[in-house]
Amino acid sequence: MFRLSFVALFLSFNTHAQQLSDCDAAANVMKEAAPLLMKAASMYSSNSSYQDVAQWRTKHLNPEINRLNQLFSSDPYPKTGLHTPVFTDVNANFLGRIPMMAQGIQAALRHGDKFKDDISFNWSEAKQAGTRFAQECPEQAKAF
Q: Are 91 and 99 in contact (CB under 8 A)?
A: no
What Å distances lie between residue 66 and 27, 46, 69, CA to CA?
18, 26, 5
Under the banding of pLDDT at 50, 70 and 90, the label for residue 12 is very low
Q: Could you read off the pLDDT of 43-81 as tens digits, one per residue?
A: 999 979 999 999 999 999 999 999 999 999 999 999 888
Give the pTM: 0.84
Q: Could you read off the pLDDT of 71-118 as tens digits, one per residue?
A: 999 999 998 888 999 999 999 999 999 999 999 999 999 998 888 999
